[in-house]
Amino acid sequence: MGLFSKDIKSMDDLFLHTLQDVYYAENQIVKALPKLIDRATSRELGAGLRNHLRETEIQVTRLEQVFEKLGRTPKGVDCPAIDGLIKEADEVAGEVDDKKVLDAAIIGSAQAVEHYEISRYGTLIAWAQELGHDGIVRLLNANLKEEKAADKKLSSMAEGGVNRRATGRTASRAPARRAAASSSTVRRKTSPIKKRPTKKKKSSRR
């Protein structure tokens, strides 16, 4: 059932369907993460993915609490979007032989999943607020906060060395540029100040 299904007749129906969509997505992510963890070669990346796997398991529990508050049984609905993202991540990880490039590919795939989740949670929170589900907003916000933190951590790892190693660049180039810039700044600060020429006084002799 898609978002534009005729079975959705009210805002409550739309909220429930999207909640089921996210519940399905989180459960699929729990199943998919172990494979990415095994393929990651960076220790930091592997540790980060393991930590997010634990977070995702807790997020599933929070979503089950949301269903309980709505008086509904936890249930997922097929989500082609997340299925496609996970399939793509699996295929890319399986096709890349260079381990350094593989880590960059894993981060890119993981962030694509994170961005989907962030958008979905943002939508659910906005709808929950309109529907007056204050207790539910708190639970959804907790999940959203973790997703944003995970995305930020992945960006930090990518920019902190994974992408550079994947391109074959050495780590010494960036510091060298910074050192050159610093030296230039020092030269500008210590350059002598030119004095203005003083005007000659006119002679008092007639």
pTM for the structure as a whole:
0.78
pLDDT of 60: 99
pLDDT of 103: 92
- Please state, in angstroms and rounded to a whole number, the distance separating the CA atoms of residues 193 and 136: 66
- Please state, in angstroms and rounded to a whole number, the distance separating the CA atoms of residues 127 and 70: 14
- For the stretch 106-117, pLDDT in tens is 999 999 999 999
Counting as low any pLDDT under 70, the low residues of the chain are 1-6, 170-206
pLDDT of 194: 54
- For the stretch 184-197, pLDDT in tens is 444 555 555 555 55
Neighbours of 112 (CB within 10 A): 14
Structural domains in the chain plus CATH codes = 11-170 (1.20.1260.10)
pLDDT of 19: 98
Neighbours of 13 (CB within 10 A): 12
Query: 3-state SS of 163-191?
Result: HHHHHCCCCCHHHHHHHHHHHHHHHHHHC
pLDDT of 95: 77
- Please state, in angstroms and rounded to a whole number, the distance separating the CA atoms of residues 117 and 142: 13
